[in-house]
Structure 1
Amino acid sequence: MDWKTFGGGLAFTLSAFAHAQSSVTLYGVIDDGLTYVNNQQGHSVYRMDDSISQGDRFGLRGAEDLGGRLKAIFNLENGFNPNTGALRQGGLEFGRQAYVGLQSDAYGTLRLGRTYDQMTTTLIQYHPGYWSGIYAFNIGDNDRISGNWLNNAISYTSPNLRGLTFNAQYSLNSLGAPSNGYGPAYSLSASYANGPFSIGAATTSIHDYAVTPGSSLGVANFLGAAVDFSSQTVVVNRYRTAGIGASYSFGTFGVSGLYSNTRYETATNAQTLQSIDAVAHYSVRPDIVIAGGYDYSRMSGYRWNEFSAVVDYLLSKRTDVYVTANYDKASGGARAVLVTLPSSSTEKQLALRIGIRHKF
């Protein structure tokens, strides 16, 4: 017997078997571009801004077939700044996602680790920011719809039950754990899709939650106390946000709507932020998409009206260039502030952007 041939054949067989049983996918997104802001803390500026249309990321996801329609799964995903090479999410190595779990066709999926809460995974598809980027999300993204995470989380997703899906998450966080910054939390959602129609509802509740009302909301008073317009932090005993959204597609034309309600509570006071969003999108042709959105938010005597628009040109299935416009008008004494940008020195802020995105 030719042992070299036998050994090579055995190695090939084992390799093929392993390949058939498991898979690992390398993937990522790079989004970068130039943004003009008419008022950033009193000055007009040009910014090289990244992660606007979609968050820059580099990740590995994998699955192993365990038999009986059961799989082991994992996902490791980091965020980065392509202009400097720095890590996002506070310098975490896998700040966007880091989990391991089991997936069953019959019983659903269980994940353990850091992952998005349900305000993001269930509701982002109904928001204008889904089409025109991070600047378009509700004031300060205080309803967490643009993308926020839960650490130390146990997450369950039900199987698809004739279009109906449920999700439940619980975060075993504590202020004593390193780099957590908030207490125990839970997030729940339910969604239904049938042909061109979909609807979803979600809620997230977090104890000992830190907010920056001056810089993220542009307000001078929060929960009955004066705050400055810097990144001054206020920790609330309980933060709770909830939302419901729906969409309908008419082929190349589609519409979506969303309502969210966010409540901040301390031992002596409470305040509620409400937002209503609407967006329409149209595929002019297979490689050109346009969308326009409107957000209205209110909290106590403060009001915000934001308009967004995007023209997206697909150079290929994985590369596109886009132009966006976002305008925020505040009232009631608040300053305008588009999400991720430093606040305006007045009640108005405009951002015009041209960018490029590549997916791999």
Structure 2
Amino acid sequence: MKKAFLIALLTGVFATAAHAQSSVTLYGLIDAGLSYVSNQSAAGSTAGHSKFAMTDASINPDRFGVRGSEDLGGGLTAIFTLENGFTLSNGALGQHGLMFGRQAFVGLSSTQFGTVTLGRQYDAMVDYLAPLAGAGAAKGGVFFGHPYDNDNLQNTMRINNAVKYASPNYDGWRFGSLYGFSNAAGSFSNNRAYSFGTSYDNGPFRFAAAYLQLNNGGTATNLTGATDSIVNAADQVTGSDSTFSAGQQRTFGAGLDYVLGPATVGFVFTETKLEDAIGINNTSSSPIPLGNASSLRFDNYEVNALYSVTPAFTVTGSYTFTDGSSSLSGASDPKWNQFNLLLDYALSRRTDVYVEGQFQHLSGGGTWFTADINGLSPSATSSQVAVTAGLRTRF
């Protein structure tokens, strides 16, 4: 009788545990290398100089995080993610010193209705379109990004005060949307953001499209809104999570991938339009002030390919033509051409070594623009070359 009672008690305990399953996972990624970069400006000089240096995150930015889930029953799960970005070479916090600057959100996920999350999150350009681009984490990464990461496919920018919805997977089709509140009384649209996107992934064909809009992003008009800004005593933006400081930013794009055995080929088009743009923030040097520009536009045309030579060895390449236009005084329309190549060898499921190279050339742009490979300091001239050897590990 006692044995039967004990068995019944243990069965009830394990049934309760199975119903209320929960998990908390610590995870991270570290990516570091040595780089040669040409034509970088030196202090007190306008000439370009070669540089040999340790670089961080030439493919994926360094991070560690905690994610968790709790099964609430009936197909409903509570979820959260807290993710920190940092610089390996000096231990500094990323994202302008934020503790969980990469992601910080909590939400509910339903197998039937989808997922709703609240917090600091990625927009639809990152969630849906970026995986098809050379700058995506599964392909070339940071240095493959388009000039200034103008379309956010390399996830330079996150959205604060964001409510996000992501649909379930309907036989390969997904969709979602995001709204970032301004959090300002009487100024509902001042530094707000909204974004939506969709993707289809079934068989050898993948397609995605996305849209992002910011109002007064990266400006000093509302520092508690959807994008972060660091402002000095003179009310000048000296750093921002937003790629640009502008009255309005509209970014949209679409792309496709096709798998041919061990090869994947893709094409991505994006366009970013800026109104009342006053600065470019995403540079490895100080922000670029633009005065009172009425408009800027970046059209990016990218072709990319990935080939698995063996299960451990992959080759990734891309070419991007960025057609820019501006109303800046004395500036001709800038046009960037960039070639990228990455050779990656997996030592294990967690660790790989790689060699990659970039070449970028700019024509036009006047005195406002130079060559500027994403993630590196701008060139002093219209051309820039970078070669990097690195090591990446995950946990």
With structure 2 as the length reference, what TM-score do the two structures score? 0.79
Name the CA distance, whole Å, in 2 between partners of 1:282 and 1:276. 21
Aligned to 2:298: 273
Q: Aligned residues, how many?
A: 331
- Confirm whether residue 324 of structure 1 aligns to residue 330 of structure 2: no
Structure 1 pair 58/15, CA: closer, same or farther in 2 (3 Å)? farther
Q: Give the letter aligned to residue 276 of structure 1.
A: Y
- Confirm whether residue 337 of structure 1 aligns to residue 379 of structure 2: no
C-alpha deviation, 1:171, in angstroms: 0.3
Name the CA distance, whole Å, in 2 between partners of 1:19 and 1:92. 36
Q: Give the letter aligned to residue 60 of structure 1.
A: V
Name the CA distance, whole Å, in 2 between partners of 1:294 and 1:234. 24
Structure 1 pair 25/16, CA: closer, same or farther in 2 (3 Å)? farther
Larger mean Cα displacement after TM superposition, 17-26 or 120-129 = 17-26
C-alpha deviation, 1:351, in angstroms: 0.5
Structure 1 pair 103/27, CA: closer, same or farther in 2 (3 Å)? same
Aligned to 1:243: 253
Equivalent residues in 2 for 1:64-213 (5 A)? 64-130=70-136, 131-147=139-155, 148-174=157-183, 183-210=191-218
Name the CA distance, whole Å, in 1 between partners of 2:239 and 2:17. 54
Deviations 1:307-338 (A, max 9, x none): 00010000001000000001100001341011
Aligned to 2:231: none
Secondary structure (helix, strand or coil) at the match of 2:152 reads: coil
- Please give the root-mean-square deviation of Cα atoms over the aligned residues, in Å: 2.5
Structure 1 pair 169/16, CA: closer, same or farther in 2 (3 Å)? same
Which residue, 52, 57, 75 being the options, matches 1:46?
Answer: 52
Q: Residue 192 of structure 2 contacts residue 217 of structure 2 at CA under 8 Å; is this kept in 1? A: no
Name the CA distance, whole Å, in 2 between partners of 1:168 and 1:144. 16
C-alpha deviation, 1:13, in angstroms: 4.6
Aligned to 1:348: 383
C-alpha deviation, 1:271, in angstroms: 2.6
C-alpha deviation, 1:132, in angstroms: 2.3
Equivalent residues in 2 for 1:271-310 (5 A)? 271-300=296-325, 301-310=333-342
Structure 1 pair 234/127, CA: closer, same or farther in 2 (3 Å)? closer
C-alpha deviation, 1:134, in angstroms: 0.9
Q: Residue 58 of structure 2 contacts residue 375 of structure 2 at CA under 8 Å; is this kept in 1? A: no
Q: Residue 39 of structure 1 contacts residue 345 of structure 1 at CA under 8 Å; is this kept in 2? A: yes
Q: Give the letter aligned to residue 254 of structure 2.
A: I
Name the CA distance, whole Å, in 1 between partners of 2:135 and 2:52. 21
Name the CA distance, whole Å, in 1 between partners of 2:348 and 2:127. 26
Structure 1 pair 288/110, CA: closer, same or farther in 2 (3 Å)? same
Deviations 1:234-275 (A, max 9, x none): 732111100101101112111011000100013983332100
Q: Give the letter aligned to residue 201 of structure 2.
A: A
Structure 1 pair 257/234, CA: closer, same or farther in 2 (3 Å)? closer
Q: Residue 326 of structure 1 contacts residue 352 of structure 1 at CA under 8 Å; is this kept in 2? A: yes
Structure 1 pair 16/87, CA: closer, same or farther in 2 (3 Å)? farther
Q: Give the letter aligned to residue 174 of structure 2.
A: T
Q: Give the letter aligned to residue 161 of structure 1.
A: Y
Name the CA distance, whole Å, in 2 between partners of 1:316 and 1:173. 45
- Confirm whether residue 57 of structure 1 aligns to residue 92 of structure 2: no
Deviations 1:99-123 (A, max 9, x none): 0000001000000001111111111
Q: Residue 310 of structure 1 contacts residue 325 of structure 1 at CA under 8 Å; is this kept in 2? A: yes
Q: Give the letter aligned to residue 268 of structure 2.
A: L
Aligned-residue sequence identity (percent) comes to 42
Q: Give the letter aligned to residue 389 of structure 2.
A: I
Secondary structure (helix, strand or coil) at the match of 2:218 reads: strand
Secondary structure (helix, strand or coil) at the match of 2:309 reads: strand
Structure 1 pair 84/19, CA: closer, same or farther in 2 (3 Å)? farther
Structure 1 segments (4+ residues) deviating >3 Å: 12-16, 230-235
Aligned to 1:34: 34
Secondary structure (helix, strand or coil) at the match of 1:200 reads: strand
Which segments of 5 or more consecutive residues in structure 1 lack a partner in the other structure? Answer: 177-181, 212-229
Q: Give the letter aligned to residue 125 of structure 1.
A: P
Structure 1 pair 154/234, CA: closer, same or farther in 2 (3 Å)? closer
Q: Give the letter aligned to residue 35 of structure 2.
A: T
C-alpha deviation, 1:160, in angstroms: 1.3
Name the CA distance, whole Å, in 1 between partners of 2:98 and 2:69. 24
Q: Residue 118 of structure 1 contacts residue 167 of structure 1 at CA under 8 Å; is this kept in 2? A: yes
Secondary structure (helix, strand or coil) at the match of 2:60 reads: coil
Q: Residue 40 of structure 1 contacts residue 341 of structure 1 at CA under 8 Å; is this kept in 2? A: no
Name the CA distance, whole Å, in 1 between partners of 2:172 and 2:15. 38
Which segments of 5 or more consecutive residues in structure 2 lack a partner in the other structure? Answer: 42-47, 220-237, 278-292, 326-332
Name the CA distance, whole Å, in 1 between partners of 2:350 and 2:245. 41
Secondary structure (helix, strand or coil) at the match of 2:143 reads: helix
Aligned to 2:17: 17
Structure 1 pair 234/81, CA: closer, same or farther in 2 (3 Å)? closer
Q: Residue 341 of structure 2 contacts residue 357 of structure 2 at CA under 8 Å; is this kept in 1? A: yes
Name the CA distance, whole Å, in 2 between partners of 1:98 and 1:144. 18
Name the CA distance, whole Å, in 2 between partners of 1:160 and 1:266. 39
Structure 1 pair 35/202, CA: closer, same or farther in 2 (3 Å)? same
Aligned to 1:215: none
